Structure formats: structure tokens, C-alpha cells
């Protein structure tokens, strides 16, 4: 009952923060309140996950629970980045997604009750994978916003929402910072996976590895192209979204098929 109540509170605070950020576009004085609401949502979300781990005596990596954990990390990273960079408006899209993942986790709870213990090396692999996905998710949302900003500026009719975001150059610089950090953690994830996972085929991980490698190649090529050839604008946006699509399929597409369609854990 307490867990259900906390999950409901986190859900409400996520949406309240998102709505307040939208209102801040017009009134321009609600940013602090929106961030406070988001921090309450994130901390409450964290408490629900901690209680879940305590009840099950281990981390549940089922589909919706993993999505809930990932959305929490994305929200936390966004809030942490907002201390030094003007990225809080991304919460308009990302906080409702975190709320939705929490709701789905509540609606479709895992029936797994046994504790699953991982080695420290495997924990490094799992953690770096989640952090990489979280960073590159934020980058993908930034790329979408850049695409909208580019389009509206060319039509000479920028909306109020777009005007609330930093200039294109600042947004693009932040995009590549997020991609660089994401590629670093994705590299750690892939390397640790190759070293510590014994049989990729037996563990149904070969497709995930191939898709993750494709995503790594796309993002790495983008970073090299940016440094050597000055890639930016539409090319950078397209490659970011392509890379994220492969990563999304690797992390959740394969898990969706195995768990929810084929009923394999």
C-alpha cells in the first residue's frame, strides 16, 4: 500500500513539474518551482525503487521495471545538468515519459521473486549500459528540439516554446557533450560485455550486441565527423536519431520481444 502511494505521488509530481515548466514559458518565473517539483518526483521515484529492491531482495530487471529505472536516471541526469546548463525545458517531454514508465511498472508488476546476484564486473556492464542509454536519450531529445528550432527559424515564425530554449549554437554544443559522454559509457558497456559475458548466443544477447555496436559506430562517426569535417545541423541531427533508434532497439526492442512476446526472461 505504501509503495503504491509513493508511486502515485511520484507520478503526480512528474506531471506537475512538466506543467509548471510549460507555464514558465509564459510567466518566466516558475523555473525554481518546477525544478523543486521534479526533484521531489525523482527522490520519491528513487524511494519506490529502493523499497522494491528491499522487498524482492534484489534488483528486478524485467521490462517495465528496467524502463522505470532508466527513466529515473534520465530525469536525475537532466536535473543535475540543469545546475550548470539551461536544459530544464527538456523536462516538458522527459518528465511525462518518466511518469508513464512508472505507471506501466505499477500496472504490470513483475512476478519474479527470487534474488539475482551479479558479479561486480557484471554490475559495471549493466550500470554503464543504463547510463549510456540515459545520456543518449537526452541527446536524442535535444536533436529533435534542434530540428524543430531549425525549421521554425527558417520559416521566421519561432514559437514561444522554441524561444525559451538556448540559442542553436549552445544547444548543438550541449548535444555533442551529451553524445561524447554517452559514447564513453557505451564503450565501457560493450567492452565489459565482450569480456565478462560468456555466451552471447545462449543468453539471447547477440542481437543486442550487434545493434549496440551499430549505434556505437554511428555515434563515434558523428563525433569524428564533427571534429574533422565540422559536421553539424541536419547531418548531426539525423545521425543522432539514427544512432538512438538502433540503441533503443538494442536495449528495449530485444527485451520487449523476449519478455513480452516470446515470454523468455
Ordered DSSP codes for 64-114: HHHHHHHHHHHHHHHHHHTTTSS-GGGHHHHHHHHHHHHHHHHHS-----S
Highest mean pLDDT, choosing among 87-101, 155-169, 251-265: 87-101
The reported pTM is 0.80
Selection from 98, 162, 107 nearest residue 134 by Cα: 98
Mean pLDDT of all residues in 178-201: 84
* pLDDT tens for each residue of 35-83: 999 999 999 999 998 888 787 766 666 777 888 888 999 999 899 988 8
> What's the pLDDT at 161?
63
* 110-119, 166-175, 252-261: least confidently modelled range: 110-119
Cβ proximity of 87 and 78 under 8 Å: yes
Question: Which triple of cell numbers denotes residue 34?
Answer: 518546477
Which is more confidently placed, 90 or 123? 90
* 38-47, 199-208, 253-262: least confidently modelled range: 253-262
> What's the pLDDT at 114?
45
Mean pLDDT of all residues in 160-168: 68
C-alpha to C-alpha distances, 239 to 34, 140, 225, 251, nearest whole angstrom: 32, 10, 11, 18
Cα Rg for the chain, rounded, in angstroms? 19
Query: How far is 85 from 216, CA to CA, in rounded Å?
Result: 26
* 22-26, 56-60, 146-150, 197-201: least confidently modelled range: 197-201
Residue % of the chain over a pLDDT of 70 = 80
Render the burial of 151-169: b for 16+ CB within 10 Å, e for the rest: eeeeeeebeebbebbeebe
- Confidence tier at 196 by pLDDT (50, 70, 90): confident
| CA pseudo-torsion sign 82, 87, 92, 95 | negative
Highest mean pLDDT, choosing among 17-26, 87-96, 182-191: 182-191
> What's the pLDDT at 153?
72
* 6-15, 18-27, 224-233: least confidently modelled range: 18-27
Mean pLDDT of all residues in 201-213: 75
Residue 111, classified by CB atoms within 10 Å of its CB into exposed (0-12), middle (13-18) or buried (19+), is exposed
Amino acid at each position: 500500500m505504501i509503495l503504491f502511494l509513493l508511486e502515485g505521488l511520484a507520478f503526480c509530481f512528474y506531471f506537475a513539474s512538466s506543467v509548471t515548466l510549460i507555464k514558465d514559458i509564459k510567466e518566466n518565473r516558475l523555473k525554481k518551482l518546477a525544478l523543486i517539483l521534479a526533484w521531489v518526483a525523482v527522490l520519491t521515484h528513487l524511494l519506490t525503487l529502493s523499497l522494491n529492491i528491499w522487498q524482492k531482495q534484489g534488483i528486478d530487471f524485467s521490462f517495465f521495471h528496467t524502463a522505470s529505472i532508466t527513466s529515473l536516471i534520465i530525469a536525475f541526469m537532466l536535473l543535475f545538468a540543469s545546475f550548470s546548463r539551461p536544459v530544464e525545458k527538456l523536462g516538458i517531454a522527459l518528465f511525462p515519459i518518466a511518469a508513464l514508465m512508472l505507471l506501466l511498472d505499477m500496472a504490470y508488476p513483475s512476478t519474479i521473486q527470487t534474488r539475482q546476484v551479479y558479479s561486480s564486473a557484471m554490475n559495471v556492464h549493466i550500470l554503464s549500459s543504463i547510463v549510456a542509454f540515459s545520456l543518449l536519450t537526452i541527446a536524442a531529445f535535444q536533436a529533435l528540439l534542434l530540428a524543430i528550432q531549425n525549421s521554425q527559424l527558417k520559416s521566421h515564425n519561432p514559437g514561444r516554446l522554441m524561444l525559451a530554449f538556448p540559442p542553436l549554437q549552445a544547444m548543438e554544443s550541449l548535444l555533442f557533450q551529451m553524445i561524447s559522454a554517452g559514447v564513453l559509457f557505451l564503450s565501457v558497456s560493450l567492452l565489459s560485455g565482450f569480456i565478462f559475458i560468456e555466451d552471447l548466443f545462449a543468453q539471447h544477447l547477440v542481437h543486442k550486441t550487434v545493434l549496440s555496436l551499430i549505434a556505437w559506430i554511428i555515434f563515434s562517426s558523428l563525433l569524428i565527423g564533427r571534429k574533422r569535417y565540422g559536421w553539424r545541423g541536419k547531418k548531426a541531427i539525423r545521425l543522432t536519431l539514427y544512432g538512438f533508434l538502433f540503441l533503443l532497439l538494442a536495449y528495449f526492442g530485444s527485451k520487449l520481444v523476449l519478455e513480452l512476446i516470446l515470454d523468455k526472461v
